[in-house]
Structures are given as C-alpha cells and as structure tokens.
Copies of this chain bind each other. A is one copy, B any other.
Amino acid sequence: MMTIDPLLHGIALAGVAVNAAAGVLEAGRKPFDLFGMVVVALAAALGGGSLRDVLLDRTVFWIADQAYLAAAVAAGLATFALVRFVRLPGQLFLLPDAMGLALFTVSGTQVALALGVPWLVASLMGVVTGVFGGILRDVLCNEVPLVFSGQLYATASWAGALLLVTLTMMGVSAGWAALAGGSLVLVLRLAAIRFDWRLPVFSARL
C-alpha cells in the first residue's frame, strides 16, 4: 500500500488553516473582539474533526497533536492582521475552501473506515468532518448555516466519500481511493460554483 500519511498530515494542516481563515472572515461581519474571532476560527477549523472523533470515541485529533491547534490559532491571527490592512476579494477563499472540504472529507472517511464502522456511517463521518466546522461557525455567529442552502457543498462531500468507500471495498489502495474521492469532491464543488448547481429547495406546504 502506498503510504500517504505525511502527505495527508500536511494537507490536513493546510485545511485547518484555511478553515480558520474563513472563520475569521465570517466573524468579521459581527462586532466580535479578538477572542470571539479566535473562538469562531477554532470552531470552524477544528469543529468537524472534533465531532467525528467524539462520535467515534477516538482521541480528539488536536489534543493528540497540538500542531493543529497552533496552525488554527496562527492562521486566525494572521487573517485578523491581514484584513485590517488589505481589502481581500471575497471570492479568493473559494478555491482553498474547496480544497479544505476535499481534504477533510477524505481524512474523515478514512479515519472512520480504519475503525471498522459500517460504510454508511463512514461516508457520513467524511461529510461531518467536512462541513460541521462551518455549521458551528454560523451557529456561533447566530446565523442560519450557509451550508443548508446555496451551491452544492455537502453533496459534493458525500459523493466523494461514497466513492472513496466504494473503491476501498473493491480493494483499491488507500492512496488511490483518497485521490479519487478527494478529486471528485473538488471537481463537483468547483463546478457547482461555476455553473450554479443547487439542490432543490424544500418548502413545506403547511
């Protein structure tokens, strides 16, 4: 089996940093102080993986390895400093955010598979890892979670997680399965932004 652990570790760190930065930009619309901003950044960056680990009864990843915590704090503070001086285009974060979604989906699914949970749960753990940080960020900012509407986001994550699970069950190595699943997430998400793909909006007739 081709080992991808050092690669995955590095990319997961990058995903944590990117999500922390996105959390700061979201919190910036509220009159939060530096601490509130750091908390929202940490929730956005670490929330998904934390929920996965608590549900799976694993040691929470940023407690086992505090490099993740340091990366989230550093990225949050750097973004805080940066946006005080530079006007960033809001679209700038869509690409790294999509990469973060792909990476979190892959790592969440693979962690769950390694623990031997059933396939449906494993794919859902990929989605949880990918999107829960953003949900927590929005709840803390007292807003309706953005991921509940808008262009395909969690759906892209679930599709990639299911592909990864399927390939793994067919005997494909972890490295190739991760590459295929992560690429599918990334391509679907970017295409959804480009072509404005959306799920049907639900409207109860009550």
Which residues of chain A have a CB within 8 Å of any CB of chain B? 24-25, 27-37, 39-40, 50, 54-57, 59-60, 62-63, 66, 69-70, 80, 83-84, 87-88, 90, 117-118, 120-121, 124, 135, 139-145, 147-150, 153-155, 198-206
Report whether A149 and B31 are in contact in the complex, using a CB–CB cutoff of 8 Å: yes
Q: Give the Cβ gap from A21 to chain B, nearest Cβ, in Å.
A: 11
Q: Give Cα A60 to B206, complex, Å.
A: 34
Assess whether B60 is in contact with A25, with CB atoms less than 8 Å apart.
no
CA distance A22 to B5 in the complex (A): 42
Q: Which of B25, B50, B120, B154 contacts A70 (CB 8 A)?
A: B120
* CA–CA, A155 and B38, complex, Å: 11
Given contacts A36-B202, A66-B120, A69-B121, 9 further A-B contacts (CB under 8 A): A25-B204, A29-B206, A32-B149, A32-B202, A54-B54, A63-B118, A66-B118, A66-B121, A141-B144
Q: What are the 4 closest A-B residue pairs judged by CB atoms, nearest first? A: A28-B204, A36-B148, A33-B199, A34-B199
Q: How far is the CB of A46 from chain B (nearest CB, A)?
A: 10
A55-B54, A83-B205 given as contacts; is B117 within 8 A of A63 (CB)? yes
Q: B147 and A35: CB pair below 8 A?
A: yes
Please, how many angstroms separate the alpha-carbon atoms of A52 and B177 in the complex?
A: 34
Q: Which residues of B contact A84 (CB under 8 A)?
A: 205
Pairwise interchain contact B36-A147, C-beta atoms closer than 8 A:
yes
Residues of B within 8 A of A202 (CB): 24, 27-28, 32-34, 36-37, 80
Q: Given A84-B205, A142-B142, A206-B25, answer yes or no on A148-B63 (Cβ-Cβ < 8 Å).
A: no
Q: Bound state CA distance, A206 and B82, in angstroms?
A: 12
Give CA–CA (A147, B117) in the complex, Å.
Answer: 33
The smallest C-beta distance from A169 to any residue of chain B, in angstroms, reads: 15
The residue from B54, B87, B120 contacting A205, defined by CB atoms under 8 A apart? B87
Give the residue name and chain of the B residue nearest to A153 (CB).
Answer: B35
